[in-house]
Structure 1
Amino acid sequence: MKGLKRRVAAGFCLIILLVVAVMEGLFLFTVRQYYLGSAIEALRTRATTSADFYNKYLPGYTLHDRSKYVLENISKNEFAKVEIVDPQKRVVLDSYGFAADGLIETSDVDHALRGETGVWVGDNKGTGERIIAVSNALENDQGNIVGVLRYTVSAEGLYSVINRITWIAIGVGLLVIAGSIVLSLLLAQRIINPISELTQVVKQIAKGNFSSRAKKRYDDEVGLLADSFNFMAEELGKNEKLKNDFISSISHELRTPLTSIKGWGETILSGNLEDKEETVLGLEVISRETDRLIGLVEELLDFSKYQSGEMKMNRCQIDLRHLVVDLEQQFGHHSNPKEISFVVACEPSPCMIVGDANRLKQLFVNLLDNAYKFTPPNGKIELIGTCTGKEAIVTVHDNGEGIEPEDLNRVMDKFYKGKSKKSGSGLGLSICKEIVRLHEGTITIESVPLEGTTVTVALPLAAQSHPVQT
């Protein structure tokens, strides 16, 4: 979680850093443009107005005479330095009354000599001072350029203000970034803490503590994850209980016939085999209990195959009438000590379905075995087969003890036996459900306690592309 927390916090910090950097850059650029732009625009207006005035009212003056006139009439409040430059870029005269040595090589003078308003911002070569210069052309009465009127002001004060604002902005930005880092760590902590708690709960579940639950702190995706995990933990707990109950039940189911087999085997071995009646009884018990063991083992093997998806289906077309007749013969003539009435009814016309005949017979044998197991003496069991336009429907109905409402929705779950004390593995109905699913059908159970149970199996009718069972 430390790595995840670090990545989340780093991500937040990176985003905030980029946002602050962009905003700082835009702010400083705007400040620079505002201060320098305002100063340049003010100086440009003054220089342009002056040049236009001198060009209009002093057209016949020589450059030297213009220089004297301009400098003699400069206002005492003029903050800019005024220079008169000849076409060779030499300063004829400035507002201080001097003619400077050297040439002025700045771009503003070049633009002015071409008849444009030139603006230049840079360092004065002589003093190293940062200045702003605006130059305009001076013309004679024929419109020819005879010189340049140049206004310059110091930009040091502007840059001082801009630098001060820059450092203030940088300081504020650093404070924002520092605060953002702290907030990012806190936010990352709020995100990671529920996940860390969930991780601890997962470890508890892995150790077998299925009662452990995650706390839902927020109604968000992490909260949804906690709900999903708690649901999973609850289901795991239920499955663990079912597994333990199944192990206990199957252990009892296996121990009972094995005890009988061992007991009667020792009885027969310890006798002299002269008591034929006792020997036959013992062998019958051994044979019956062996069949019971085989049935339990076969259920476990079938369930294992269904769970792993290894069960293969030998599909063919089957007439529902033949299946019902086989079941009637099997259950109508077997030993029935409880004298239960077995009633069979089926569709008179052919009703073809597609499936594995042996698995379908296993399905209905399981259902009928359950019906016989839970139906009291002198009760009644009905097996009814009908055919609708799209489905073949087989119904097994009994008037036995029924199923409690709280058990009804779970009787087909694996290992589930509910409150029944009858023998069995708890896998029979689960296997029935899987057989029906593999045949693309449906199975439903309706039951009223102490009145009986009805199991309805619906299977799709056959097309003509499968071979017919003979």
Structure 2
Amino acid sequence: MKGIRARLIIHFGLILLLIVLLLEGLFYWAVHTYYFGTATETLVTRSVTFTNFVNKYAGGYGLKDKSRYILENVSKEENAKIEVLALDGRVLLNSYGFQTAEVIGTPDVSSALQTGMGLYVGKAPQTKERVIAVSNPLTYLGDHVGVLRYSISAEPLYAAVNRIAMYGAGVGLIVVVFAFALSLIIANRIVGPIQDLTRAATQMATGNFSTRAKKQFDDEVGTLAETFNYMAEEIGKNEEMKNDFISSVSHELRTPLTSIKGWGETLISGGLEDKEETMLGLEVISKETDRLIGLVEELLDFSKFQSGELRLHVERLDLRDILEDVRIQFTVRAQEKNVDFDVQIPSAPLPVSVDPNRMKQIFVNLLDNAFKFTPGGGSVQVSCQTDQSHVRVFVRDTGDGISPSDMPRITERFYKGQSKQPGSGLGLSICRELIHLHKGQFHIDSTQGTGTTVSVELPLAQSLPSS
């Protein structure tokens, strides 16, 4: 009873067995009622008809004369036993022509004298044979003088009914066996896919994320198999992403740490006597430390997104101020890399309700990517468009662009695609999440070899706070 298959078979089997037993009982009752009802009705009809005949045409005869009259007029084809009884139940004469000293005290005799007819189904007192008996009163000048009793043996009826019941029981047994076999088939059809799912889940638990469950039927279990396969596919993707992330972050951490350690050892061995070399080493250590801090901050932001702990500190401000800050911040980098950097800030205010630090983080990340993938001689441009309810900021570059195969997954966590540039693969994912938290929209258009355009759409606030 521990397995689903065993419980299904037993439960289905018991239900069907109870149904068969109930139907067998009803069938036996119906056959018994039909056979005995027909026999009793026939016997009553013949008994009443013949008694009325005798009382009508031999009404002036005494009981003994009536007995002889009855014996003379009984049909030779009559198979029932006919007896003429005195009022005290003594048998005066039977259809075989015998006069016995037997006294019949069955209820049908007394009932016939009291109500006009009596019926008895039971055992004969002397022979213990099961019989059906019908008694009717014999009259003389309007008074009861005796009883005319018809009786037949019920044994053939019981035998016939029992024989039919045995046939029915045999059919019922076949039905029960068939039902158990059918329940076994149904149980296997239900349990088989579940066992397949269990095996697939066991394989997955051991780390085999390529395993898949077979969808055998288009039902709830089939839907469960599809869901399981979808889950396995997603877990496989996440596992691959995790491995890529660990590899990427390990590389990203190792590179600055190697530089820091190398320059630290160089400065220590040099004794800090060469000022120019010392400043160069300290500058490299500072830049690599900033890279480490940025990577750690991205990981912390990702952790906050995962746990739902990231909170925005929203203020009403002019978006132009943030754009001006990032323009100043990236002007030097544009000059160093020989990239044309143009920030087109509109003259009209751009009132928005945002977290200023997070909004600056978004544009710094987008511009950092733009400069990272734009070679010298290229250009990076920031422009704005507004309507009555929204402002759209576009960050365009003339860099390498994004390959079509990478575009669908470019904003996935830890995904770096075919790029060889340093990074954790979290920047665009964090930007997208932050923009959605600001109830904005984030979109990327790119053509490989031509460049990329990233648009950030934010709702406009009603007005700026007065100065």
TM-score (ref. length: structure 2):
0.88
Between the aligned partners of 1:33 and 1:56, the Cα distance in structure 2 is 33
In structure 2, relative to structure 1, the CA distance for the partners of 1:452 and 1:236 (3 Å cut) is same
Between the aligned partners of 2:405 and 2:195, the Cα distance in structure 1 is 37
Q: For 1:177-326, list aligned pairs within 5 A.
A: 177-326=176-325
In structure 2, relative to structure 1, the CA distance for the partners of 1:241 and 1:101 (3 Å cut) is same
In structure 2, relative to structure 1, the CA distance for the partners of 1:242 and 1:136 (3 Å cut) is same
Aligned residue for 2:363, secondary structure, equals: helix
Greater alpha carbon shift after TM alignment, 120-129 vs 273-282: 120-129
Q: Which amino acid aligns with 1:294?
A: I
What does the per-residue CA deviation read over 1:350-371, in whole Å, with 9 as the maximum and x for residues that have no partner?
A: 5544443322322232222222
Q: Is the 8 A contact 1:412 1:430 kept in 2?
A: yes
What does the per-residue CA deviation read over 1:94-125, in whole Å, with 9 as the maximum and x for residues that have no partner?
A: 3344366445342x446544546544322222
Q: Which amino acid aligns with 2:367?
A: L
User: Given the alignment of the two structures, is residue 425 of structure 1 paired with residue 416 of structure 2, yes or no?
Assistant: no
Q: Is the 8 A contact 2:106 2:120 kept in 1?
A: no
What is the aligned partner in structure 1 of residue 23 from structure 2?
Answer: 23
Between the aligned partners of 1:62 and 1:323, the Cα distance in structure 2 is 136
What is the aligned partner in structure 2 of residue 132 from structure 1?
Answer: 132
Between the aligned partners of 1:74 and 1:188, the Cα distance in structure 2 is 67
In structure 2, relative to structure 1, the CA distance for the partners of 1:155 and 1:268 (3 Å cut) is same
In structure 2, relative to structure 1, the CA distance for the partners of 1:462 and 1:141 (3 Å cut) is farther
Between the aligned partners of 2:72 and 2:259, the Cα distance in structure 1 is 137
Q: 1:296, CA displacement in angstroms?
A: 0.5
Between the aligned partners of 1:58 and 1:327, the Cα distance in structure 2 is 135
What is the aligned partner in structure 2 of residue 95 from structure 1?
Answer: 95
Q: For 1:137-156, list aligned pairs within 5 A.
A: 137-138=137-138, 148-156=147-155
Q: 1:178, CA displacement in angstroms?
A: 3.2
In structure 2, relative to structure 1, the CA distance for the partners of 1:427 and 1:52 (3 Å cut) is farther
In structure 2, relative to structure 1, the CA distance for the partners of 1:161 and 1:284 (3 Å cut) is same
Q: Is the 8 A contact 2:334 2:371 kept in 1?
A: no
Aligned residue for 1:405, secondary structure, equals: coil
What does the per-residue CA deviation read over 1:121-169, in whole Å, with 9 as the maximum and x for residues that have no partner?
A: 2222221111122344556676x76654432211101111222222333
Q: Which amino acid aligns with 1:104?
A: G
Q: Is the 8 A contact 2:334 2:340 kept in 1?
A: no
Q: 1:199, CA displacement in angstroms?
A: 1.7
Between the aligned partners of 2:132 and 2:445, the Cα distance in structure 1 is 97
Aligned residue for 1:214, secondary structure, equals: coil
Greater alpha carbon shift after TM alignment, 154-163 vs 82-91: 82-91
In structure 2, relative to structure 1, the CA distance for the partners of 1:280 and 1:130 (3 Å cut) is same
What is the aligned partner in structure 2 of residue 170 from structure 1?
Answer: 169
Q: Which amino acid aligns with 1:342?
A: F
User: Given the alignment of the two structures, is residue 457 of structure 1 paired with residue 462 of structure 2, yes or no?
Assistant: no
Q: For 1:56-95, list aligned pairs within 5 A.
A: 56-85=56-85, 91=91, 93-95=93-95
Aligned residue for 2:336, secondary structure, equals: coil
Structure 2 unaligned blocks of 5 or more? none
Q: 1:314, CA displacement in angstroms?
A: 2.3
Aligned residue for 1:447, secondary structure, equals: strand
Q: Which amino acid aligns with 1:278?
A: E
Q: 1:192, CA displacement in angstroms?
A: 2.3
Between the aligned partners of 1:343 and 1:397, the Cα distance in structure 2 is 10
Q: 1:267, CA displacement in angstroms?
A: 0.6
Q: 1:422, CA displacement in angstroms?
A: 1.0
Q: Which amino acid aligns with 2:4?
A: L
What is the aligned partner in structure 1 of residue 33 from structure 2?
Answer: 33
Between the aligned partners of 1:417 and 1:275, the Cα distance in structure 2 is 40
Between the aligned partners of 2:39 and 2:239, the Cα distance in structure 1 is 82
Structure 1 unaligned blocks of 5 or more? none
Between the aligned partners of 1:196 and 1:409, the Cα distance in structure 2 is 36
Q: For 1:341-352, list aligned pairs within 5 A.
A: 341-345=340-344, 349-352=348-351
Aligned residue for 2:337, secondary structure, equals: coil
What is the aligned partner in structure 1 of residue 393 from structure 2?
Answer: 394
Between the aligned partners of 1:231 and 1:463, the Cα distance in structure 2 is 45
What is the aligned partner in structure 1 of residue 45 from structure 2?
Answer: 45
Q: 1:389, CA displacement in angstroms?
A: 4.3
Q: Which amino acid aligns with 1:72?
A: E
What does the per-residue CA deviation read over 1:350-400, in whole Å, with 9 as the maximum and x for residues that have no partner?
A: 554444332232223222222222223232333334444444433333232
What does the per-residue CA deviation read over 1:265-303, in whole Å, with 9 as the maximum and x for residues that have no partner?
A: 111100132211110000000000000001011111110
Q: 1:327, CA displacement in angstroms?
A: 3.4
What is the alpha-carbon root mean square deviation over aligned residues?
Answer: 3.0
Between the aligned partners of 2:58 and 2:439, the Cα distance in structure 1 is 108
Q: 1:64, CA displacement in angstroms?
A: 4.8
Greater alpha carbon shift after TM alignment, 250-259 vs 402-411: 402-411
What is the aligned partner in structure 2 of residue 447 from structure 1?
Answer: 446
What is the aligned partner in structure 1 of residue 375 from structure 2?
Answer: 376
Aligned residue for 1:131, secondary structure, equals: strand
Q: 1:315, CA displacement in angstroms?
A: 3.1
Between the aligned partners of 2:90 and 2:375, the Cα distance in structure 1 is 129
Between the aligned partners of 1:459 and 1:62, the Cα distance in structure 2 is 124
Q: Is the 8 A contact 1:316 1:469 kept in 2?
A: no
What does the per-residue CA deviation read over 1:178-201, in whole Å, with 9 as the maximum and x for residues that have no partner?
A: 343344334423432332232222
Greater alpha carbon shift after TM alignment, 411-420 vs 173-182: 173-182
Between the aligned partners of 1:469 and 1:92, the Cα distance in structure 2 is 132
Q: Is the 8 A contact 1:47 1:136 kept in 2?
A: yes
What is the aligned partner in structure 2 of residue 104 from structure 1?
Answer: 105
Q: Which amino acid aligns with 2:156?
A: G
